[in-house]
Amino acid sequence: MKKVLEEVHSSMCDNYLGARALSKKVLRAGFYWPTLQNEAAEFAKTFPPCQKHANFHAAPPEELICVTSPWLFAKWGLDLLGLFPQGSGQVKFFIVGIDYFTKWIEAEPLAAATAQRSQKFLYRNIVTS
């Protein structure tokens, strides 16, 4: 049975899927045994390339917290996104501001992520708009 898992897994073209996808692929190949799901999970846990490319989350799961604002423009969220492929004007970053009450978004492309550019964005798009 392990040989079947290895053969089916090696034909996946290095698309390191999880145990569920592997067991479905084995079923589509015409094989079945009662412990297929458990063995596919164990195989995925112990196969080194699967571990290398696995989609692990570093943070433990937690309950979501609702962020609210009592009135318009009282609370903003700011985020700096990048490094993106270079665009026209040598822009590689984005700065984004979101009002938590209205969900209003202000965004601007940046060539360099500096404190001065962030301050200008904050003043021009949030404080004085």
Asked whether the beta carbons of 5 and 40 are under 8 A apart, the reply is yes
63 lies in some domain: no
Count of structural domains within the chain: 2
Distance between CA atoms of 120 and 9, rounded to whole angstroms? 52
The answer to whether the beta carbons of residues 5 and 23 sit under 8 Å apart is: no
- As a residue count, the chain comes to 129
Range of the domain at 94: 76-127
Predicted TM-score of the model (pTM): 0.49
Instruction: Evaluate whether residue 58 is within a structural domain.
Output: no
CA 18 to CA 25: how far, in whole Å?
A: 11
Does residue 81 sit in the same domain as residue 45?
A: no
Establish if 88 belongs to a structural domain.
yes
Residue 39 lies in a domain: yes
Taking residues 6-11, what's their average pLDDT?
70
- Same domain, yes or no: 123 and 83: yes
pLDDT digits (tens, 9 = 90+) for 81-105: 988 988 888 999 999 999 999 989 9
Report the alpha-carbon distance of residue 28 to residue 128 in Å, rounded: 61
Q: Examine residue 10 and state whether it is found in any structural domain, yes or no.
A: yes
Q: Is 91 inside any structural domain? A: yes
In tens, the pLDDT along 11-56 reads 654 455 677 888 888 888 888 888 888 888 888 777 766 666 666 6
